[in-house]
Amino acid sequence: MIVNGRDGDAIDDVCRQVTGLGMRAVGVRADVSKEEEVERIFDAWSRQFERLDIMVNCAGIWQSTPFQRMTREEWDHVLGVHLQGFFHCSRRAAEIMVRQRAGTIISVSSISDLRAHEKAAAYDAAKGAILAATRAMAVDLGEFGIRVNAVSPGPIYVENWDKFSTPDDRVRAGQQLPLRRIGTPDDVAGVVAFLASADAAFITGQTIYIDGGLTAQARPPSSQPT
């Protein structure tokens, strides 16, 4: 397994966990928005492994700026990480998988590919593009035995939430969802693992929403019709 990220300590931690499960893990620190750095990821793969069976696109950043004040640099930065990174990594993976005539590409999108966030036009635009590209890639690559899917998480608790919310805040937010709780990284990982497995052998071009029912409901349960 190749583990890429921006935080060296986090990369090392994931590699230790993978190694502890009896598998080989190699860490790389690369900016996926830059094609030459993506090449370093695949160079590390080629030195260590012979096959590429699964590739997961999960790089992302958040930029909170009202659209009327957004600069070209902010727009390019967000789309660079989300969309150019998706393209660079997926294209290189597809080249290898076409030769193998097998493989699966899974991308982590967001419910923002359906619903807008305030002050996040660039983020939402990138996620919507990933959803559309996932469908198109599935059509192009299917004849080579390559499956392409995406997952779109809703509110998923991660540690950086602690900077702007309390446990009580998160309980209240969870009560607005049909499942009455905020999601966890394991909720996302389980669906990614399913899509990568033989159990999903006839699934391609799909996006699975991991959102506790958020996108299914017309309004929070406490809201009244107007």
Whether 90 is covered by a domain: the verdict is yes
Output the pTM of the full model: 0.92
Q: Where are the beta strands (DSSP E) in the chain?
A: 2-5, 26-29, 54-57, 103-108, 146-153, 207-210
Query: Which pLDDT score, from 0 to 100, does residue 165 have?
Result: 87
Which stretches in the chain have pLDDT values below 70?
219-226
pLDDT per position as a tens digit, 96-115: 999 999 999 999 999 999 98
Number of domains in the chain: 1
pLDDT per position as a tens digit, 19-41: 999 999 999 999 999 999 999 99
Residue carrying the six token digits 């393209």: 87
Whether 16 is covered by a domain: the verdict is no
Whether 21 is covered by a domain: the verdict is no
Whether 57 is covered by a domain: the verdict is yes
Q: How is residue 214 written in tokens?
A: 């958020």
Whether 33 is covered by a domain: the verdict is no
DSSP string, 169-201: HHHHHHTTSTTSS-B-HHHHHHHHHHHHSGGGT
Whether 2 is covered by a domain: the verdict is no
Tell me how far apart the alpha carbons of residues 107 and 30 are, in angstroms, rounded to a whole number: 18
Whether 86 is covered by a domain: the verdict is yes
Catalytic residues: 123
Whether 7 is covered by a domain: the verdict is no
The CATH number for 61's domain is 3.40.50.720
Residue 65: domain span: 46-216
